[in-house]
Structure 1
Amino acid sequence: MDILSGFRSKCGVVITLSAFGISATSDIASAQRVACWEPDEQSCGAPGCFDVGLAWSGQPVGFALLENGSSQIVAYYNDKRQLVVTRNDGEGFNDRTVLPTRVGWDSHNRIVMAIGPSGRLHVSGNMHSTKVNYFESDGPDMIQSLRPLAIGEGNLFASGTYPEFYKNRHGDLFYLFRTGVASDGAYNLLAYDPASRHWNSQTDGPFLDFRGAGSPYILGPYQDSNGLYHIAWTIRAKRGAENNRDIFYARSTDLARWTDSKGNPLPIPIRLDMGEKVVDSPVGSGIVNGNIRMAFDNQDRPVIVFGKYTAKDTLGIFVSRLEDGRWRTVQAKDLGVLWKISGGGSVSKELRIQATKRAADGELVARYVLRQQSYQCMISNKDLTLQDCLHNQSSLPRGLMQVSKNRAGMTVQVALASTGQSPRYLLRWETLPYNRDKPRNVAPPPSKLQLFDLKYAKICHPATSG
């Protein structure tokens, strides 16, 4: 059990003076002075808390947070809906630049960032079946030099969605995005050349291309300990989340040539219903993009965790593992609740499958959120069922996950930056809930955007009562 799950205080997180190197036997420490992280305060008044700015709060949309040495870089939409990039210079977020794009009411328009092998900052976002928005700086601490760049020409870059930067084990930088729309799309994978500052397609055009017949929704690429890349995807042929079907798989040594698990080459681009089928699941079976995750067990076998309906039409979590050249799929847990998945736009999810990780002992740990309640379970290495499930085992401070006073109806949003296996920094703001990407009659007031250094939380003590 993570000790943070037991924290409780009036302000959410208690900070004791040992955080500042003051001895527990000192006169000051004996007075039991504390500092609190209080989301309701007008400004941060405790160590480890930084005011970033005012954020757009009309709907959830992903912000980005990067750790770069001793500084942190944040990309967000401000109270005027502008895309802003700002850097903590050690004395607060005083260095910032406003980029020439504004977000609407679409929750798909997330922001992503990465620092490339040459130290330049790369930013992308505010795109949902619109032109590719991409910005590049002259260095990670030179955010004022960020400028929009066209990374390619033609139809491939005229319609972008779901941008993602990806770095392999060698530090090479890749850019993944979908072109087209939900029922008529393709995926493109570009590699960054730091010498020329150009993005080069790993294949001649998209590497997954279902245009005219549907659209893939991809997860990955994931890289195992042997350096192999793995991807999986589900298919949607019509608009509406209920129209997802099936899960397919492919692997690669270089992100350019792709094969099935037996090494049989796949034609590029990979077309509809090509690839290796992991799960045969028809339209309306409850598979939905965003609720599929991949990890590797202690033998480096790919394991796919996903949600769909059980035979009882309840929500279930299923696990597939590649074993001796074949995929074995089991119903790992019946969650016993109903959720009828349907419609377009950004959908509020009753079930959210989160990242599956391999623990220090080699066992896989699956995390999921069911109706706003978080769980973590061990995946049995023998039969793939979920076992020893723990409730509310989030490592995030409880107080920061609660909506501030006088902001009823809002929801808490976070972005994390990690050092090693554990989150180190937490970016926090509040928004109205999902509205299927439709405008509301009145825009809400902006939210405070704040950064919290979680190292200060680790010296707190779990509550003994209450």
Structure 2
Amino acid sequence: MKLYHLRSLFFICVLFGSTIVVSAQTDKVTTTTIGLGWANNSVNTVVFRKNSLVTFKGEQYAAYYNNDQALVLAKRKSGSGNWQVAATQYKADAADAHKDISIMVDGAGYLHVAWGHHNQTLNYAKSIKPGSLTLSAQQSMTGVGENKVSYPEFYRLQDGDLLFVYRDGGSGNGNLVMNRYNITTQKWVNIQQNLIDGEGKRNAYWQMCIDKKGTIHISWVWRETPDVASNHDMCYARSNDGGLTWEKSTGEKYMLPINAANAEYTCRIPQHSELINQTSMFADDGGNPFIATYWRDSSSTTLQYHIVFKTSSSWHSANLGFRKTAFGLGGTGTKLIPISRPQIIAWNKSGKQSVAIIFRDTERGDKVSVAVNNDLQSANWQVSDLTAMPVGEWEPTYDTELWKDKEVLNLFVQKVTQVDGEGKANVAPTKVQVLQWKP
């Protein structure tokens, strides 16, 4: 079904025109360097790291692989340029860009770390005490469904407990698992063994966030095969009770597991639309979800960034429209792509909804760039660069907890090289930095 036929569906994609203003905002940016990191692929900078940076009670933590493929942890007092850096006892096959490191600090101050997964047995440890960069021995969580782990992600709930979300299974044939960590008992329990069911035919590539009220929002595209070209559609669910029960944006309860037949479709996007997977989403203070991604509309040859968002009773899609270069998206493995997957943040200013997407585009010299709209109803986007130098095949990740608390954006930045199809470059290690920008 073509996108312009969607007006006959219950969920409608509305494509807005965009006015683009180009400027530079490097004067609003500060950076600090942590150390040198592995740069032979994009494993330190893939967009699905949750998280690369995290702040808890005035201290910010970071994680990355160094040039020896060792897992490195670091922390600093918020705003300080002095980092405490510690290489851990753990290594991973950093040459596979899927095998990222994800971290989170629980409400008791313990740092939790998962690393080195691409259909691998779970690699997980936590700090030996609150505030420490020394990790415990590896441990399991629940002991069930932990042999084919991919895309580990941590999230902190309002009460300080953690969620851990991952794919159990392979590309085109996998299910979404969710565990919860109790800071009182210091134990993990499984709360969803198969939240989104691929039914042995497909799998969901998701993005997730938790808003200030504690509601969990998740959105995803379906993939039919390991070929990225088989990505299609955008779906949505939310939970108001820590992930136990789920509903659609209308409040209608889901019968679990969610599958292709009962999912809420926020936007219908056909296969072979250059639709990317694993991007980002954000929910504002009112609990309104915003999803950032990219695809090519059926009426265009050029792939564009889009945001999909909910206002009152309707889903909408905005085509940012500022890109000019076409490219195709297909094949398996980590691809060499001329643009990054985007991150999205949103805030309210003077009663108007502001949104920003953070991205990297070869058209703009592969710099860290941002597109800001200070009134989403106007569709006026201001595009600017946050760095003067290129960052290679970098993708954006940021400190979600710092943004949630202070509305200050701290980005994990490193210049990296990605060879197409899971290739490995041979370059010297590069600086791992934290870039700060306040809209």
Please tell me the TM-score bracket, short chain as reference: 0.7 to 0.9
Size of the aligned set, in residue pairs, is 398
1:113 partnered with 2:103? yes
Q: Which residue of 2 aligns with 1:339?
A: 327
Structure 2: which amino acid aligns with 1:348? L
1:65 partnered with 2:82? no
CA distance in 2 between partners of 1:454 and 1:380 (Å)? 23
Structure 1 residues not aligned, in runs of 5+: 14-47, 404-409, 459-466
CA distance in 2 between partners of 1:140 and 1:247 (Å)? 39
Q: Which residue of 2 aligns with 1:423?
A: 409
Q: Which residue of 1 aligns with 2:172?
A: 183
User: What does the per-residue CA deviation read over 1:49-103, in whole Å, with 9 as the maximum and x for residues that have no partner?
Assistant: 5553x42221111263334555543322122112122445989555624233322
Q: Which residue of 2 aligns with 1:260?
A: 248
Q: Which residue of 1 aligns with 2:421?
A: 436
1:377 partnered with 2:372? yes
User: What does the per-residue CA deviation read over 1:119-142, in whole Å, with 9 as the maximum and x for residues that have no partner?
Assistant: 211001111111111111232332
Say if 1:73 and 1:88, in contact at 8 Å, map to a contact too: yes
Shift of 1:149: 0.9
1:386 partnered with 2:368? no
User: What does the per-residue CA deviation read over 1:227-260, in whole Å, with 9 as the maximum and x for residues that have no partner?
Assistant: 4332111100111211100111112211111122
Shift of 1:113: 1.0
CA distance in 2 between partners of 1:82 and 1:163 (Å)? 18
CA distance in 1 between partners of 2:159 and 2:67 (Å)? 38
Q: Which residue of 1 aligns with 2:8?
A: none
User: What does the per-residue CA deviation read over 1:408-442, in whole Å, with 9 as the maximum and x for residues that have no partner?
Assistant: xx666776544611135x655433234321245xx
Structure 1: which amino acid aligns with 2:39? S
User: What does the per-residue CA deviation read over 1:165-218, in whole Å, with 9 as the maximum and x for residues that have no partner?
Assistant: 112334331111111111111111111112221111123x22112141111011
Structure 1 residues 276 and 316: CA distance shift in structure 2, 3 A: same
| 1:112-151 correspondence runs (5 A) | 112-151=102-141
Structure 2: which amino acid aligns with 1:208? I
Shift of 1:355: 0.8
TM-score of the pair, normalised by structure 1: 0.74
Say if 1:214 and 1:237, in contact at 8 Å, map to a contact too: yes
The structure whose Rg is larger is 1
Say if 1:174 and 1:191, in contact at 8 Å, map to a contact too: yes
CA distance in 1 between partners of 2:233 and 2:188 (Å)? 32
SS of residue paired to 2:134: helix
Q: Which residue of 1 aligns with 2:357?
A: 367
| 1:207-356 correspondence runs (5 A) | 207-223=195-211, 226-254=213-241, 255-291=243-279, 293-296=281-284, 300-310=287-297, 311-323=299-311, 325-329=313-317, 331=319, 333=321, 335-351=323-339, 352-356=341-345
Say if 2:175 and 2:198, in contact at 8 Å, map to a contact too: yes
1:5 partnered with 2:25? yes
Structure 2 residues not aligned, in runs of 5+: 1-20, 46-51
CA distance in 2 between partners of 1:452 and 1:246 (Å)? 34
**More off after superposition, 279-288 vs 231-240:** 279-288
Identity level (%) = 20
TM-score of the pair, normalised by structure 2: 0.79
CA distance in 2 between partners of 1:153 and 1:71 (Å)? 32
1:446 partnered with 2:420? no
Q: Which residue of 2 aligns with 1:29?
A: none
Q: Which structure has the higher relative contact order (CA within 8 Å, separation 6+)?
A: 2
Q: Which residue of 2 aligns with 1:55?
A: 37
Of 352, 357, 379, 2:346 maps to 357
Shift of 1:453: 7.8
Structure 1: which amino acid aligns with 2:97? S
- RMSD of aligned alpha carbons: 3.4
SS of residue paired to 2:25: helix
Say if 1:160 and 1:177, in contact at 8 Å, map to a contact too: yes
Q: Which residue of 2 aligns with 1:162?
A: 151
